[in-house]
Amino acid sequence: MCTGACSKFVAIALYPLAAVSIICNIILFFPDFSTDYASEDGEKTPRITQEVKYMGGLVGGGIMVLVPAIHIHLTSARNCCANRCGMFLSIGFAALGVVGAIYSMSVAALGLSNGPTCFWTSDKNLPAQWGAPFANSSGSYLSNSDMWAWCQLPKNVVQFNLGLFSTLLVCSILQLILCLVQMVNGLFGCLCGTCGGKE
């Protein structure tokens, strides 16, 4: 496969991954699919999970991957024509994608480890309060579904966060792999041309 065609494959694969990352991050701002918690959120009254506000999916897995995807796609527009300069630049853009993917992956992993912000209590005899009940559990709550009942509001917020942060994590891992592939592909394209045998 010529390096131009490989670039096109990488770019096309990055588009939906970036879109999914952006959508997941936006949805995370609305637990229980309600706008109430976002509108009530504040420094003294946290209602939204802290890691959501880092916008790993929107900035890292979204914009920082989408920009390289567009450039990589444009680089491959002529497919097997010589475009060594474009392939060289694609290495830098792919590196930006790597940074974005790592940022998104780190935020998603942190979000899974710390768990959601919710109105919770671990004992029905104690008053509930807003906070992050699993922040010091090092992710142990993930394997103990009984603990998920501690969160009373938003409803099913643990499953909500778990599903979306897991999706972000998978997307960012795939983005990282694709951007690393493009860095290697860009190097070969820069040295040998986008399709050495046809130049």
pLDDT of residue 198 exceeding 60, the answer is no
Q: What is the pLDDT of residues 3-24, one digit of tens each?
A: 667 778 888 999 999 999 999 9
**Rounded CA gap, 114 and 109, in Å?**
9
Instruction: Please give the pLDDT value at position 167.
Output: 96
pTM score of the predicted model: 0.86
Domain count within the chain:
1
DSSP state of 199: -
| Domain extent for 173 | 3-198
Lowest-confidence range among 38-42, 53-57, 101-105, 146-150? 38-42
Q: What is the pLDDT of residues 86-135, one digit of tens each?
A: 777 888 889 999 999 999 999 999 999 998 989 988 777 788 888 888 88
